[in-house]
Amino acid sequence: MNVLDIFPGKINNAFAKAVAINYVAITAVSLLLLFIVIVTGVFFGIRYRSLSSAHRYKPPSMKVWIEVVFIAIPLFFGVILFSFGAKAVVDHGREYPKNGLTIFVIGKQWIWKFVHENGVKEAGELHLPSHTPIRLVMVSEDVIHSFGLPDFRLKQDVLPDRYTELWFEPISEGTFPLYCNQYCGSFHARMGGQIKITSKEEYELWLAKEAFRNHLQQPEDTNNGEKIYERYGCASCHGANGRGGIAPRLDNLLGKHVHFSNSDSLIANETYYRDSILFPARKVVFGFPDTMPSFQGRISEEELVALIQYLTSLRGVSDVQKPLP
């Protein structure tokens, strides 16, 4: 790579394009201001050097209108550049995909682990399809990490106590570096990896192959979401397949409006699932008693991911086919 190639790679997603526009805008303003300061400074510096015989009669000590200009210039450019940046991020948020491919990312000292929608896991390397909106739902098992993708101009800290998200839609195929950007202890520098972007077909083929290989190696997977749902006794209240009982129904919950007994409400997402398992008392569904025990400290992040994947996959089966017991 040439020393003067400033940016990593070409533009791979919509947000990178918005970032590029911001770079151009800021650089233009910076160069303009730099030019003004340097050119005037150097000009005065040479003209008014002590040995020169330049005209120096009555140097002005202050002129209020000049000071007003001095204030107006950075204020004007500042507000413009702020709105450019804000617009890019607001747009990025507005295009947030409702039905993207959801992949869970678990960071731990010093490796990135990924869980695909069908439960296939990988570490250090993430396979993704191109031209598909991708949502990364991320959590850390220990300290704060930061999921950094310079080629996509994206970065998000990964926290130990909540899910944070990142989304993008890759355009070009290829292999791109992945870094941990937040200092996380001894081998922070080794907590990198790769993002492998292939066509949708190749990705699905790869996914199926991995799933098949897992099945061959371990025909009876005891750690899938359904097994965890049984193991922790969720079914005793929420019913088999989450179809409800003395506790709220869990099928078809993702994206639905949920109302709570403290008259709060929200739209159910992965964070809501996680919080409800770990801190059930905080948000009690309207019309139900506050009886659910907390699973904090009893369930690992990986189990949580598997469980939430299972719960969000419950699309609900019509009651005619499978009547309630």
- The residue (of 135 and 153) whose beta carbon lies closer to other proteins is 153
- The residue (of 117 and 142) whose beta carbon lies closer to other proteins is 142
**Candidate residues 10, 70, 264, 317; the one interacting with other proteins per rule CB under 8 A:** 70
Between CA 251 and CA 242 the distance in angstroms is: 5
| Piece of 54-62, 116-124, 204-212, 226-234 that binds other proteins (CB under 8 A) | 54-62
Between CA 321 and CA 247 the distance in angstroms is: 22
Rounded least distance, CB 134 to other proteins, Å? 17
**Would you count residue 124 as binding other proteins (CB under 8 A)?**
no
Instruction: Say if CB 193 and CB 164 are below 8 A apart.
Output: no
**Would you count residue 34 as binding other proteins (CB under 8 A)?**
yes
**Would you count residue 269 as binding other proteins (CB under 8 A)?**
no
Between CA 198 and CA 216 the distance in angstroms is: 25
**Would you count residue 205 as binding other proteins (CB under 8 A)?**
no
| Piece of 41-49, 201-209, 224-232, 298-306 that binds other proteins (CB under 8 A) | 41-49
**Would you count residue 14 as binding other proteins (CB under 8 A)?**
no
**Candidate residues 102, 103, 104, 109; the one interacting with other proteins per rule CB under 8 A:** 109
**Candidate residues 66, 123, 246, 317; the one interacting with other proteins per rule CB under 8 A:** 66
Between CA 125 and CA 169 the distance in angstroms is: 18
Tell me how many degrees the CA angle 156-269-325 measures, rounded to the nearest 5: 150
Contacts to other proteins from residues 283-302, by CB under 8 A: 297
For residue 167, whether the previous peptide bond is cis, meaning omega lies within 30 degrees of 0, is: no
**Candidate residues 75, 205, 208, 317; the one interacting with other proteins per rule CB under 8 A:** 75
**Candidate residues 12, 151, 169, 242; the one interacting with other proteins per rule CB under 8 A:** 151
Q: Which two tokens stand for residue 273?
A: 């699932």
**Would you count residue 41 as binding other proteins (CB under 8 A)?**
yes
- The residue (of 235 and 277) whose beta carbon lies closer to other proteins is 277
Contacts to other proteins from residues 153-182, by CB under 8 A: 153-157, 159-162, 164, 177, 179-182
**Candidate residues 74, 233, 289, 316; the one interacting with other proteins per rule CB under 8 A:** 74
- The region that residue 202 occupies, defined by phi over 0 for left and psi between -120 and 50 for alpha, beta otherwise, is alpha
| Piece of 20-28, 116-124, 210-218, 246-254 that binds other proteins (CB under 8 A) | 20-28
Instruction: Say if CB 176 and CB 106 are below 8 A apart.
Output: no
Instruction: Say if CB 272 and CB 258 are below 8 A apart.
Output: yes
Q: At what angle do helices 14-47 and 64-94 cross, to 10 degrees?
A: 160
**Would you count residue 60 as binding other proteins (CB under 8 A)?**
yes
Rounded least distance, CB 321 to other proteins, Å? 41
**Would you count residue 144 as binding other proteins (CB under 8 A)?**
yes
Between CA 305 and CA 115 the distance in angstroms is: 8
Q: Which two tokens stand for residue 178?
A: 């992945």
Instruction: Say if CB 197 and CB 151 are below 8 A apart.
Output: no
Between CA 6 and CA 23 the distance in angstroms is: 12
**Candidate residues 127, 188, 238, 283; the one interacting with other proteins per rule CB under 8 A:** 188
C-alpha distance from residue 323 to each of 57, 237, 239, 318 (Å): 99, 17, 12, 8
**Would you count residue 84 as binding other proteins (CB under 8 A)?**
yes
- Shortest CA distance to 210 belongs to which of 105, 121, 126, 79? 121
Rounded least distance, CB 260 to other proteins, Å? 14
**Would you count residue 48 as binding other proteins (CB under 8 A)?**
yes
